[in-house]
Structure 1
Amino acid sequence: MPIKLDDPNALEQLTEKLSKRRQLQEMMKEVNAVIRSSKSDDAKIDFIMKKCGKSREEARNFLHPSESWCDPGFAAWELANNNQEIGRLRKRIQEVERYREAAARAEKEGNSEFPFDGGRIVDNVPANRLQIFFDRKPDADVRTRLKQNGFRWAPNSGAWQSYRHGYTLDWAKREFNAEAIQ
């Protein structure tokens, strides 16, 4: 299940995932280094068993794969994919930190509003929503364009809303010729 920005435990969950991925990366690098070393096969198998939690047979198959096209140890793509996931998690942690700062700022200063002829756009940071309030029900063409751009009617708030994204705010401001309240 994805970790949402507004989840109160998001930072802890992402940090834990990042820690596990870093440990996995180090383990894979250590195992590959031992496999390439000049140690005996028994020493390599014992190390793989200890590091990876594999049985003796699994470790032997890992060291000497039965398929001719497989190299022993972890493949380069496994290391690369894990490293990319580490980078993605770092960026996601930065996103969560920026969101929390913006939410705290919005709690103090209020949400940004962008009025337009017939309504207003509200960047509701604490709720992690971009909301569009209309003075009256928009026509079918406007409702269709809202839906095509990720907005849904939310009766509980009386607004058309979407998750906060820079592109949805930009689209809404362009679509309705909205300007920021000074």
Structure 2
Amino acid sequence: MSQQPPPSHARRNISLLLLLAYAGVVAAMTLSPTPLDQGFESSIDKLLGVLHRNGVPEWFGYNKLEFTANIAMFIPLGFLIGLALPARVWWLALLASPAISIAIELTQAGLLESRFATASDVFANTLGGLFGTLIAVILRAIVNARDEKVIARALWQAKQTPRPAVPRY
């Protein structure tokens, strides 16, 4: 009976380290006393002007840009949570994104008078987290399938290789 080797914790440890770092970035962005766009209104208008001149429809304005940015901000978070969790409980990542987003929005509503808590932010953040988790699950499935093929081939090759004769004394 062969024993499986112990699992490598490198993926989990690296993803946990990156998750902690990125969670710090998200916290700094979402829990700062002033909104990130404050003072950048003209730059945002210029960006939207460039986008509109290059084929982005006019209906894509500030609100859509902010919604899209919230989705984009939570994709890495969902991805890293999806990688950091053990495979058997990956589904907890599906709960983490909305929970984190709701906690952020409640903090903004209760403690940060210059910030605005909205349900659309929770929805956008949740979408981003779900996309990130989906990417992590797909990537893990691809890597797992590849690993199984590599192990099966190695076992097959080991059976095919003639063993050296052992001298008998």
* Rg comparison, structure with higher value: 1
Greater relative contact order, per chain length (Cα 8 Å cut-off, separation 6+): 2
Higher-helix-fraction structure: 2
| Superposition TM-score tier, normalisation by shorter sequence | 0.3 to 0.5
TM-score, length-scaled by structure 1: 0.32
TM-score, length-scaled by structure 2: 0.34
